[in-house]
Structure 1
């Protein structure tokens, strides 16, 4: 490979600026009657023909919604109500537990008193009880035939 000592003529290419605002293409008048066909003449002379586009209908107005949905508000209020009821339920269960303990103590007290009364009746100091029959004092009885003397 050999290189020339002096470079040859250099070509410099400058880019063409792009115009952002191109002139509008002239419109060919529309033909009357359906279907509406529209033709546009481009700047270079070409003609583009096609059906006219009907503008899109305006969207229905969006219903204004509140910042917080009703469902969220209902859930929050239900949680607050449940929290308020829980305190009352806790007090109710504590009251029921205290009442049950009180009744339990009364039953035990009644059993102790009644059991003590029965014990006194059974193991009392009198030794025996009168059931309405004839009382015989064996110590003072004298049986002569068997020679039993007390």
Structure 2
């Protein structure tokens, strides 16, 4: 009922592919270099307590590098700490510089306002003062007549 309609009944045969590796060509062996007689270590034999004999080359123990003493605090940590101290010092200086610039700006603003008040007062005194000699030329024009775009007195 739930089977696809295009299936053909009967046994199925699967095709099998066989892959055979290709043999590699033989590699010629490296030439043997004669060894100097002084470099071959001597062969020694040791008789164990149970009677067995062990024969082999004597080897020199491996020399270890001397371990340098490490400081208790890493250099990176010291550099970070010094950088933090320097940053803190710079921040304090920047705070003082900011305060100085703010105070200087307030001083300049007050000086400008003071100059405007003083100069404005001086101008007001000069304009509204009734006493004293006024400088300038006063011209009284009487019976001025304009004829044909010419001024006649």
**Normalising by the residue count of structure 2, what TM-score does the alignment of the two structures yield?**
0.47
**Normalising by the residue count of structure 1, what TM-score does the alignment of the two structures yield?**
0.48
Between structure 1 and structure 2, the one with the greater Rg is 1
